[in-house]
């Protein structure tokens, strides 16, 4: 399975926000942290807001904040919202044309089952499970061994 960069950045933003769930994050701050244009970030934030995953407030003291506790936001749901309209294969799409293999294809059911298993597995994890650790990163072993 391959996720779009839109979903990838949406998940990164949510992971960052889950690390400080009571704090509002400005669009400028998130755009700088993930090296995204504010326009692209705004599109992602709009989709997350429409899905009820974040709340946004404009102006001074505004920003984006998680709409629910991280432990209540399942990763599978996030991906379903962000990947909405992105069919795994053409024949899964709403506007798919008739396939010459329709009725004889043995692949479609297997791909559907794999997609369902992928999302079902992610439904067992929440944003709380993947929230960024607030502690400073631990130096790698090579760095530790080179200290006096």
Cα gap 122→4, rounded to integer Å: 16
pLDDT attached to residue 105: 77
Query: What structural domains and CATH numbers belong to the chain?
Result: 5-133 (1.10.10.10)
Q: What is the pTM of this model?
A: 0.78
User: Which residues are CB-neighbours of 68 under 8 A, at least 6 positions away?
Assistant: 52, 53
The C-alpha atoms of residue 65 and residue 62 are separated, in whole angstroms, by 9
CA distance 79 to 23: 23
Question: Residue 23 carries which DSSP code?
Answer: S
- The pLDDT, as a whole number, for residue 106 is 80
Q: pLDDT of 36-93, one tens digit each?
A: 999 999 999 999 999 999 999 887 778 899 999 999 999 999 999 998 876 666 666 6
How many Å apart are CA 136 and CA 126, to the nearest integer? 23
pLDDT at 117 over 70: yes
Q: Across the strands, what pairs with 55?
A: 65
């Amino acid at each position: 399975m391959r996720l779009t960069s839109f979903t990838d950045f949406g998940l990164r933003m949510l992971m960052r926000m889950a690390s400080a769930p009571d704090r509002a994050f400005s669009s400028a701050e998130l755009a700088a942290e993930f090296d995204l244009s504010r326009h692209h970030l705004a599109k992602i934030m709009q989709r997350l807001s429409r899905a009820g995953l974040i709340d946004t407030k404009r102006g001074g003291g505004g920003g984006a904040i998680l709409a629910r506790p991280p432990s209540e936001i399942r990763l599978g749901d996030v991906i379903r919202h962000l990947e909405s309209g992105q069919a795994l294969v053409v024949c899964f799409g709403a506007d798919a044309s008739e396939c010459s293999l329709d009725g004889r294809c043995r692949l479609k059911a297997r791909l559907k089952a794999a997609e369902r298993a992928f999302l079902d597995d992610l439904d067992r994890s929440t944003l709380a499970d993947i929230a960024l650790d607030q502690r400073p990163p631990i130096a790698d072993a090579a760095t530790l061994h080179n200290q006096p």
